[in-house]
């Protein structure tokens, strides 16, 4: 029977929803592991990496936990918890190995077009914060992954590292900073588009822009994916053995459409962002680092303030922020109805519970939305005391949807991070959440394949190929200084990093 306004059904091995860094990473890995695999990719917009993976919408840090203080929280007893920082640092090294493999095999262009060396710094002021930073630095020195980190309270040293940040500060102000010379700046938008450019050239892979996924239904152990071509309104159904929902903020509504038991109880809390972008070339040239500070009380992790040097479209840029805000959109190009339409019977209790438990966050976002240009400038002056309003303009950043999930004790909790939701049969997976996201994409996709391609990943062929793509695969870098040094030497050479 032929559907009205529909092409005949097509069957493929894999459907990827969303043309961002996650889908690109999974697509590249699967095609390398199984060259004859067939893949269809559907993207609602007209270009790849236009939402969370885009340079203006993404933190772009190369999240390695070198400078992000929210990954090393202080415990009630005053000690510093470094477990998350070590895990993220390890995952970033895995990503660099895979990118090195792509570069060496000419599957992407020159690494200078997507990754560059840039020092990562943490900067604090006030005695309590200085004490915290010292404790953080001392604790991180126990890990091989943070070898090379330097700590200083010396004003002359800090002025050499970040003259713009130190200029205009009083001689008695108590400040401190750590510096990791081997930090990076990553343009995930450029990297994503490079990977898709390669994938499109391969047999059995098709990338469709202006295509919106309308329905997901499992039938006879296959998924029927109903898509609409927004340019001509034509609808068709693709049958697939496996579906990956990697649509950023749009993943939650699609997971709800899939209607799998594992997806019940998940909700989303959207947080928008803005940057102050420097428009004075002289000031941009005076700063060369990613300088992260401490988040305000009640602030979400994506709102950790930073004065950030980046390379965007081949030009050096300087950003400060992000300033958080609230929107009911789940995507930058989404609908104001995204949040209300995501509320279902199975997630309304977790969402209400999480909301009641996070009233400080709600207050923080309301305060951020009400900020005047003068308020934003005052926040910038904490990091750049001599800042002038005429040198900066406001730039809209991307949307992030923080995960809300069921919790037996609280009813629902708000998670700051990424969450992979997979069906029990491994036939569908969705990636929810935000930071550190893109930087840990390769590790996330390995975890996904271990859950969804259970038999294939055990085969000698896949194991051997994974070891080629990621030389440390199956081993832990932390606690293995020689392996860590060897891997970093190899990746730095391949990616042309300092």
pLDDT (tens place) for every residue of the chain, 498 residues total = 333 444 457 899 999 999 999 999 999 999 999 999 999 999 988 888 766 556 555 555 668 999 999 899 899 999 999 999 999 999 999 999 999 999 999 999 999 999 999 999 999 999 999 999 999 999 999 999 999 999 999 999 999 999 999 999 988 899 999 999 999 999 998 999 999 999 999 999 999 999 999 999 999 989 999 999 999 999 999 999 999 998 776 788 888 889 998 887 776 666 667 789 999 999 999 999 999 998 765 555 555 788 999 988 788 999 998 776 666 665 656 666 656 556 666 656 655 665 556 555 555 555 655 667 788 888 899 999 999 999 999 887 766 666 565 666 656 655 656 788 899 999 999 988 766 678 999 999 999 999 999 999 999 999 999 999 999 999 999 999 999 999 999 999 999 998
Q: Which two tokens stand for residue 382?
A: 């904490």
In this predicted structure, what is the pLDDT of residue 283? 96
Query: How far apart are alpha carbons 67 and 64 in whole angstroms?
Result: 8
Token pair 């009083």: residue: 170
> Domains along the chain?
6-490 (3.50.50.60)
Residue range 53-90, pLDDT digits in tens: 565 555 556 689 999 998 998 999 999 999 999 999 99
Angle between helices 83-104 and 188-200 (to 10 degrees): 40
Cβ neighbours of residue 189 closer than 8 Å, sequence gap 6 or more: 49, 50, 53, 54, 55, 58
pLDDT of residue 374: 84
* Chain centroid offset of residue 67 CA: 15
Question: What span, in angstroms and rounded, lies between the C-alpha atoms of 99 and 97?
Answer: 5
pLDDT digits (tens, 9 = 90+) for 472-483: 999 999 999 999
Structure-token match 């969804």, residue found: 452
| Per-residue CA distances from 483 to 29, 191, 195, 343, 448 (Å) | 23, 26, 28, 47, 25
Report how far residue 358's alpha carbon sits from residue 249's, in angstroms, rounded to the nearest whole number: 20
The SS3 assignment for 224 reads strand
pLDDT digits (tens, 9 = 90+) for 320-344: 987 766 666 656 566 666 565 566 6
- Reduced to 3 states (helix: H, G, I; strand: E, B; else coil), residue 174 is coil
Distances (CA, A) of 391 to 52, 169, 388, 447: 26, 20, 6, 44
Query: For the purposes of burial, counting CB atoms within 10 Å of the CB of 400, is it exposed (0-12), middle (13-18) or buried (19 or more)?
Result: buried
Q: What are the phi and psi torsion angles at 371 (to 5°)?
A: -65, 140
* Residue (of 84, 182, 145, 150) closest to 480 by Cα position: 145
Q: Which two tokens stand for residue 12?
A: 């493929």
The alpha carbon of residue 318 and the mean position of all alpha carbons in its chain are separated, in whole angstroms, by 20
Q: Which helix (H) or strand (E) holds 454?
A: helix 454-458
pLDDT value at position 67? Answer: 94
CA atoms of 498 and 492, how far apart (whole Å): 7
Least Cα distance to 275 among 396, 369, 386 occurs for: 396
Q: What are 466's two structure tokens? A: 């994974």
Q: If you ran DSSP here, which 8-state letter would residue 145 be given?
A: G
């Amino acid at each position: 029977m032929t559907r009205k306004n529909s092409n005949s059904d097509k069957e493929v091995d894999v459907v990827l929803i969303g043309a961002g860094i996650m889908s690109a990473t999974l697509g590249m890995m699967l095609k390398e592991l199984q060259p004859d695999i067939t893949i269809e990719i559907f993207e609602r917009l007209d270009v790849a990496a236009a939402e969370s993976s885009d340079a203006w919408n993404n933190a772009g840090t190369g999240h390695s936990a070198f400078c992000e203080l929210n990954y090393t929280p202080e415990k009630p007893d005053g000690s510093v918890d470094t477990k998350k920082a070590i895990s993220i640092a390890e995952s970033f090294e895995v990503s660099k190995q895979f990118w090195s493999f792509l570069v060496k095999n000419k599957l992407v262009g020159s690494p200078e077009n997507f990754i560059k060396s840039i020092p990562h710094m943490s900067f604090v002021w006030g005695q309590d914060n200085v004490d915290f930073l010292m404790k953080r630095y001392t604790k991180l020195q126990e890990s091989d992954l943070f070898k090379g980190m330097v700590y200083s309270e010396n004003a002359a040293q800090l002025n050499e590292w970040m003259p713009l940040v130190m200029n205009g500060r009083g001689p008695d102000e108590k400040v401190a900073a750590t510096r990791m010379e081997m930090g990076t700046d990553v343009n995930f938008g450029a990297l994503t588009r490079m990977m898709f450019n390669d994938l499109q050239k391969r047999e059995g892979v098709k990338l469709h822009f202006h295509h919106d996924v309308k329905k997901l239904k499992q039938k006879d152990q296959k998924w029927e994916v109903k898509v609409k071509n927004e340019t001509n309104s034509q609808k068709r159904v693709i049958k697939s053995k496996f579906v990956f929902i990697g649509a950023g903020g749009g993943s939650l509504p699609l997971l709800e459409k899939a209607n799998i038991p594992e997806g019940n109880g998940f909700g989303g809390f959207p947080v928008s962002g803005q940057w102050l972008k420097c428009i004075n070339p002289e000031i941009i040239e005076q700063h060369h680092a990613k300088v992260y500070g401490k988040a305000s009380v009640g602030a979400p992790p994506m709102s950790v303030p930073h004065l950030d040097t980046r390379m965007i479209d081949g030009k050096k840029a300087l950003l400060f922020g992000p300033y958080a805000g609230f929107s009911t959109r789940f995507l930058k190009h989404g609908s104001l109805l995204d949040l209300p339409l995501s509320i279902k019977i199975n997630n309304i209790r977790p969402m209400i519970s999480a909301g009641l438990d996070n009233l400080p966050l709600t207050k923080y976002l309301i305060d951020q939305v009400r900020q005047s240009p003068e308020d934003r400038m005052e926040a910038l002056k904490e990091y750049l005391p001599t800042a002038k309003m005429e040198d900066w303009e406001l730039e809209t950043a991307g949307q992030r949807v923080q995960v809300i999930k069921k919790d037996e004790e609280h009813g629902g909790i708000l998670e700051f991070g990424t969450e992979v939701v997979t069906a029990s049969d491994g036939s569908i997976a969705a990636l929810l959440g935000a930071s550190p996201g893109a930087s840990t994409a390769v590790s996330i996709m390995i975890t996904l394949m271990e859950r969804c391609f259970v038999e294939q990943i055990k085969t000698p062929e896949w194991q051997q190929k994974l070891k080629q793509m990621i030389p440390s695969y199956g081993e832990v870098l932390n606690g293995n200084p020689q392996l860590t040094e060897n891997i970093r030497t190899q990746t730095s050479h391949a990616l042309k990093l300092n």
